[in-house]
A and B are shown apart, each in its own frame.
Chain A
Amino acid sequence: MTTWTDLPAMAKIEVVIDGDDVPAMRDLFLDSGATGYTAVSGVSGFGHHGHHQGRLLFNDRASLSMLITVVPIERAEGLIAGIRRLLDDRHGVLFVSETHVSRPDYFT
């Protein structure tokens, strides 16, 4: 019987960043060969810089956003290097994890 661990492994990259930094991150994803991404705007929470407000009615840029992408593991290193460079100067966090996907052709 096939289990989920038999599905092809890939790298899942999640970043939580300021809304203003989303365009730079989006371009980095695409320049690094990611075939797509998911964006969640208006992310609220509490962390290193205190409380973060969620969605605002008339300002999509002022709240945090979460971007998620999945790339083949061999492409992850380059992308992560760029993200870390960006986070040198800007707020945000990066999570990298191994994930398994049912349709690997979507991500390559």
Chain B
Amino acid sequence: MTTATAHRSLSATDRSRLVIDVSNAGSIAAPYWPLTAFVAVNPLGGLTDLSFAEAAAAARGWFGARTHLPLDAYRTEHACGTVTDADLDRAILRHQPTLADAPSLDLGRLRVDPLDIVRWDLLHGPTADQAPRRGTGSVATALDEIMTGWCAAFVDEAHTPWPMPDRDRGFYRSWRVAAGADRRLAAVIGRDARARLKELPDDPAELLDLALRERGIDDEGRVHAIRTWILRTPGWAGLARWCDEWAPADRSGVRLRMLDLAAVRAAMDHLAPDHLDLSGPDATSSGVQAVSIERRADAAAAAFGADGHRAAIVELLEAFDEADRAAIWLSAHEWNFRDRLLARLTGPAAGTSPERPAAQLVFCIDVRSEGVRRRLEALGAYDTYGFAGFFGVPVRWRPLGSEIAQARCPVLVSPRHEVVEVAIDDDARYLSTRSATAGLHDAFYAAKGGIASPFALAESAGWFAGPVAAARTLAPPRTRLDTAVGAIAKRPWWKPFGATPRTAPVVDTVTSVDLRSGLSLEERTLFAEAIVTTIGMAEFAPVVVLCGHASITTNNPHASSLDCGACGGAPGGASARIAAAILNDIDVRVGLVERGITIPDTTWFVAAEHDTAADLVRIFDRDVIPAAIRPLVDALQRDLDSAGERNSLDRAQRLPGSAARVRDRGRDWAEVRPEWGLAGNGAFIIGPRSMTAAHDLRGRSFLHSYVAESDPDGVALETIMTAPLVVAQWISSQYYFSTVEPEVFGAGDKMLHNPVGGIGVVVGQSGDLAVGLPMQSVMLGEQRAHDPLRLLAIVQAPLDRIERIILRNSGLRQLVEGEWIHVVGRGSDNDAWSLRTPGGGWEPWHLADASMAEHRTSLSHTDLSIPLSI
């Protein structure tokens, strides 16, 4: 094939329009955070300006992806009782309100309520049950494979001995230089590939212009055409979106730009003998494989004994196409969960003890905190709170001996400060040992990743590494459960030199080690005030624990997905230490008094970290805890140990394998499921702990403390609803779509993962970058461990305050009115719950099935639809 269209230099106007077209085209791809700081995102986050239903239809068309569970899976939920007929009826009538007053259908001998027919069709009607998939040809598939290989080679940060040439000039230019030697590419596009590659323009924008004009794409069709090229590799497109829009400005390494990604795939398509269809999905199609209405009507007519009256049933069912059926099932499933949870939370709240608690503990809002909080509260006079795990201090954290500072805050915030960890003891030995260890580590992995060196490595180190690997497999290490005083600081026998010294975060600018780190007194005081006021803490116990969380696992590329999302996918201990240091600062406390907050001199803030894989809570910086409260802290540590043990037994019921080893799973390098993470998450509860303290919420709810009376102007609630709630919605969506469509929006089977480029994984030997969560994070074999539901936000605050916040924050408003999240609220314990309707305003909530209210008290352990058998 010869190129009929000559390339041209782009005018400034054409170039800038093209740059925006690429940006618009790429906006459908959710950003992909590298696995070093994996951040949960909504895979349809680029479509949240549409309603959930519209976005789902667009996703089915563009990604060829399923957006709901198969109907059979919903029917199984119905058979299990986690969706009832009453839930279905309510969902049907919400979808088609006119059905409530519709006359009965005359089916000859029978008169049947149309609602009965629709419900029957949902429960028993024939289904297609096939995931939509993009049509594709062999040439396109071959080019996709080649494309993913080049993407991996370009972004490689794992120090490949032979990097691609000219990487600093961008992906397209680098690829164009190197691709002439690609025999697989030549096999697809022909023998003259090298010469034709040379003829391509050097500028990626000019290449795109050429490819678009060659295909006769007009102005209107350009975004669809570019999007088609980009979405041939949606995973890599996600990384490009991250590079373009989210990567830190000071990040080193190459940048995969969306413009380059589109240009390379367009170039391949331009040179290929068969071209992609660039027209985009059919906008008139729901994107769902459909069973004909006639077939469904025949089945319903037969079931109701009305074979001769098909026409009336066809007319009725025409209002319920395949996409509608899936949407109704999802809605019914959500109503069931909502009813059960709200029924539980209706009525008088748990009373609060008049006595001063022995300790207050602030945990992350993460759903995994709920269990250990409940267990701890049962053991003593402890008050617990929920707050985003970065404790409101958005900083970059630079650990001892490191030159790299990592953001420890939600990705929605750009950290403006850096905090450095410094040694209190002499750290020279530690740093030299650390440096030597890091050198050995680098040398080992460089040899392992080389071309020929692995053979030499096997010869020289195999005698040692082989038996060690065998031992780790046959007898995986166990978690050290000893958290007693001094146990952590004890130097292990195998580490005679260079044990970790005592350290502290330097939070102020006066004693800071350099000019770029530390926070001013004004800033520290502001953050301290935000922590205290956001959760409504009015009185202070002698000990206040700020407890971050992390998940200590091994041989797990997705390890950071189990760490703290509020800390940007990093362990939360550092944030707890920083916040505690700020709140223990005498100058800060003086500043807080001026702002109306008095923290007693006898109160000490203690930092801790909850290892969610082992259910261990470790307290940091014990040596600086005042002697007067050490006995309290020791007693608290013992109760934390007990609470952790009990919580781990609860978790063991849901995890496969031996309950006795549930706390060791994270240390086992052969374990694909160290914990369930946030699987099961379904609700985000904003209110005082007294709302939820009496209930076992089965680790399904994010819990954010909030006291409406302490926040008359709504500033704290606005902060919660515009940041933690939004992050939780991303997490919820990631679990949702990883469950309903593990192939497209999930990361597939963990057993087949191969790390690629130091930034992600591919499934198998090659392929697109795997986004989302591994199958083992949401499934156990064929059984789901997560209920794919949209997030339910439950807020105890005056409804007009909630409404005002929703209306003045456009992003939040889109989420609520587009039904990406459901919001319910009530002003106080004594008020009834109200539902925020998508169109604005509130309506009273009531149970679909009134009998549930009578059984509310018996629902304590077996309701909420998490599969309990696992």
Q: Are A28 and B412 in contact (CB under 8 A)?
A: no
Question: What separation, in Å, do the CA atoms of A9 and B839 have in the docked complex?
Answer: 49
Q: Are B388 and A53 in contact (CB under 8 A)?
A: no
Determine the residue in chain A with the shortest Cβ distance to B412. Answer: A59
Q: Is A52 an interface residue (CB 8 A)?
A: yes
Q: Is B16 an interface residue (CB 8 A)?
A: yes
Question: What separation, in Å, do the CA atoms of A4 and B723 have in the docked complex?
Answer: 46
Contacts of A20 on B, CB cut-off 8 Å? 811
Determine the residue in chain B with the shortest Cβ distance to A64. Answer: B810
Q: Which of B797-838 contact A (CB under 8 A)?
A: 807-812
Question: What separation, in Å, do the CA atoms of A32 and B11 have in the docked complex?
Answer: 10
Contacts of A60 on B, CB cut-off 8 Å? 412-414
Question: What separation, in Å, do the CA atoms of A59 and B729 have in the docked complex?
Answer: 14
B801 to chain A, nearest CB (A): 14
Q: Is B699 an interface residue (CB 8 A)?
A: no
Q: Are B13 and A58 in contact (CB under 8 A)?
A: no
Partner of A81, one of B13, B412, B414: B13
Contacts of A105 on B, CB cut-off 8 Å? none
Partner of B726, one of A18, A62, A83: A62
Q: Are A58 and B21 in contact (CB under 8 A)?
A: no
Q: Are B811 and A58 in contact (CB under 8 A)?
A: no
A97 to chain B, nearest CB (A): 19
Q: Which of B3-56 contact A (CB under 8 A)?
A: 11-17, 19-21, 23-24
Contacts of A24 on B, CB cut-off 8 Å? 20, 23, 244-245
Q: Are B810 and A58 in contact (CB under 8 A)?
A: no
Contacts of B726 on A, CB cut-off 8 Å? 59, 62
A18 to chain B, nearest CB (A): 7
Contacts of B811 on A, CB cut-off 8 Å? 18, 20, 61-62
Q: Is A98 an interface residue (CB 8 A)?
A: no
Q: Are A49 and B810 in contact (CB under 8 A)?
A: yes
Contacts of B371 on A, CB cut-off 8 Å? none
Partner of B15, one of A23, A50, A78: A78
Contacts of B23 on A, CB cut-off 8 Å? 24, 27-28, 86
Contact with A along B685-717 (1 / 0, CB 8 A): 000000000000000000000000000000100
Do A52 and B810 form a contact, CB below 8 Å, given A24-B245, A59-B722? yes
Determine the residue in chain A with the shortest Cβ distance to B26. Answer: A24
Q: Is B680 an interface residue (CB 8 A)?
A: no
B5 to chain A, nearest CB (A): 22
Max count, chain B CB within 10 A of own CB: residue among A24, A57, A60? A57
Partner of A28, one of B20, B388, B414, B718: B20
B440 to chain A, nearest CB (A): 40
Contacts of A79 on B, CB cut-off 8 Å? 12, 16
B48 to chain A, nearest CB (A): 10
Interface size on A, residues (CB 8 A): 32
Contacts of A51 on B, CB cut-off 8 Å? 807-808
Q: Are A23 and B245 in contact (CB under 8 A)?
A: yes
B562 to chain A, nearest CB (A): 22
Question: What separation, in Å, do the CA atoms of A42 and B20 have in the docked complex?
Answer: 23
Contacts of A6 on B, CB cut-off 8 Å? none
Question: What separation, in Å, do the CA atoms of A27 and B723 have in the docked complex?
Answer: 26
Q: Are B12 and A78 in contact (CB under 8 A)?
A: yes
A106 to chain B, nearest CB (A): 20
Q: Are B722 and A50 in contact (CB under 8 A)?
A: no
Q: Are A58 and B413 in contact (CB under 8 A)?
A: yes
Max count, chain A CB within 10 A of own CB: residue among B414, B807, B810? B810
Q: Are A31 and B723 in contact (CB under 8 A)?
A: no
A51 to chain B, nearest CB (A): 5
Contacts of B20 on A, CB cut-off 8 Å? 24, 28, 82-83, 85-86
Q: Are B16 and A52 in contact (CB under 8 A)?
A: no
Do A77 and B388 form a contact, CB below 8 Å, given A28-B19, A82-B19, A86-B23? no
A20 to chain B, nearest CB (A): 8
Q: Is B746 an interface residue (CB 8 A)?
A: no
Partner of A85, one of B21, B410, B414, B724: B21
B523 to chain A, nearest CB (A): 13
CB contacts between A and B, total, < 8 Å: 106
Contact with A along B406-421 (1 / 0, CB 8 A): 0001101110000000
Contact with A along B219-238 (1 / 0, CB 8 A): 00000000000000000000
Q: Is A75 an interface residue (CB 8 A)?
A: yes
Contacts of B812 on A, CB cut-off 8 Å? 62
Q: Is A93 an interface residue (CB 8 A)?
A: no
Partner of B16, one of A18, A50, A78, A89: A78
Contacts of A52 on B, CB cut-off 8 Å? 808, 810
Partner of B719, one of A18, A56, A85: A56
Partner of B412, one of A27, A61, A89: A61
Question: What separation, in Å, do the CA atoms of A28 and B409 have in the docked complex?
Answer: 28
Contact with B along A67-102 (1 / 0, CB 8 A): 000000001011101110110010100000000000
Contacts of A81 on B, CB cut-off 8 Å? 12-14, 16-17
Contacts of B12 on A, CB cut-off 8 Å? 32-33, 75, 77-79, 81
Determine the residue in chain B with the shortest Cβ distance to A62. Answer: B811
Question: What separation, in Å, do the CA atoms of A36 and B719 have in the docked complex?
Answer: 32
Question: What separation, in Å, do the CA atoms of A75 and B402 have in the docked complex?
Answer: 44
Determine the residue in chain B with the shortest Cβ distance to A51. Answer: B808
A67 to chain B, nearest CB (A): 14
Q: Is B530 an interface residue (CB 8 A)?
A: yes
Q: Is B760 an interface residue (CB 8 A)?
A: no
Contacts of B722 on A, CB cut-off 8 Å? 56, 58-59, 62
Contact with B along A37-51 (1 / 0, CB 8 A): 000000000000111
Q: Are A85 and B245 in contact (CB under 8 A)?
A: no
B521 to chain A, nearest CB (A): 19
B180 to chain A, nearest CB (A): 27
A63 to chain B, nearest CB (A): 8
Partner of A31, one of B19, B245, B715, B809: B19
Question: What separation, in Å, do the CA atoms of A52 and B14 have in the docked complex?
Answer: 33
Q: Are A82 and B16 in contact (CB under 8 A)?
A: yes
Q: Are B19 and A58 in contact (CB under 8 A)?
A: no
Contacts of B748 on A, CB cut-off 8 Å? none
Q: Are B16 and A58 in contact (CB under 8 A)?
A: no
B112 to chain A, nearest CB (A): 47
Contacts of A32 on B, CB cut-off 8 Å? 12, 15-16, 19
Q: Is B392 an interface residue (CB 8 A)?
A: yes
Determine the residue in chain A with the shortest Cβ distance to B223. Answer: A89
Contact with A along B275-292 (1 / 0, CB 8 A): 000000000000000000
Q: Is B394 an interface residue (CB 8 A)?
A: yes
Determine the residue in chain B with the shortest Cβ distance to A82. Answer: B16
B272 to chain A, nearest CB (A): 28
Q: Which of A8-39 contact B (CB under 8 A)?
A: 18, 20, 23-24, 27-28, 31-33
Q: Are A82 and B412 in contact (CB under 8 A)?
A: no
B387 to chain A, nearest CB (A): 11
A91 to chain B, nearest CB (A): 8
Max count, chain A CB within 10 A of own CB: residue among B14, B15, B23? B23
Please list 20 pairs of residues, one from A and one from B, whose beta carbons are closer than 8 Å in the complex, sorted by A's number: A27-B19, A28-B19, A28-B20, A31-B19, A32-B19, A50-B807, A52-B810, A53-B808, A57-B392, A58-B394, A61-B412, A62-B811, A78-B12, A79-B12, A79-B16, A81-B16, A82-B16, A82-B19, A82-B20, A85-B17
State the 3 A-B residue pairs at the shortest beta-carbon distance, nearest first. Answer: A78-B12, A82-B16, A58-B723
* Interface residues, chain B, with chain A CB atoms under 8 Å away: 11-17, 19-21, 23-24, 244-246, 388, 392, 394, 409-410, 412-414, 530, 715, 718-719, 722-724, 726, 807-812
**6 more CB-based (< 8 A) A-B contacts, given A32-B15, A50-B808, A58-B412:** A24-B244, A31-B19, A52-B808, A52-B810, A78-B13, A82-B15
